[in-house]
Amino acid sequence: MTGLITKKEIGEYSSQILELLERERIDSIERLEKRLGKSFEVQDGIVKLEKIPSELEPAPTGSTHIISYIAQDKGVLIQVKLNLKEDYVFITLKSSSELEDYSKDFYDEAGNIIQSKRFRLSFDKVIEELHKLS
């Protein structure tokens, strides 16, 4: 992994996720579920839509759906986890500067701050949060 990730770049990556969701008509958890297991090339990387089965999670809590923005040489830059059984969304991202309403968890090797935010499960709220970041 190399390089610091700016707040502006996080905005660009968030916009690319939003554009993908719109283009693929993913506007609900149900529509997301139909696309799980797929990867999509976007301008600066890949967006993966995944599902972690409950038996692979540290504590058996039901399935978690994941939207990950991955950039070559920088790894996962934004990750949105939707935990259906526990009814929450957990967003993790990394940036060289602190983002409002995100907890500062730790630093990566490049000096980016790994930050997170958790809120009640709502696909509309996920879209709203990605808009705030973009």
Cα–Cα nearest to 69, from 22, 122, 106, 15: 15
Give the per-residue pLDDT at 1.
Answer: 43
Single pTM value for the model:
0.89
Cα–Cα nearest to 27, from 120, 126, 131, 121: 126
Q: What is the pLDDT of residues 86-121, one digit of tens each?
A: 899 999 999 999 999 999 999 999 999 999 999 999
Classify 23 as helix, strand or coil: helix
Question: What angle, rounded to 10 degrees, do the helices at 7-23 and 123-133 form?
Answer: 140
Q: What is the pLDDT of residues 13-50, one digit of tens each?
A: 999 999 999 999 999 999 999 999 999 999 888 999 99
Pair 78, 50: CB distance under 8 Å: no
Range with the lowest mean pLDDT among 1-5, 78-82, 104-108? 1-5
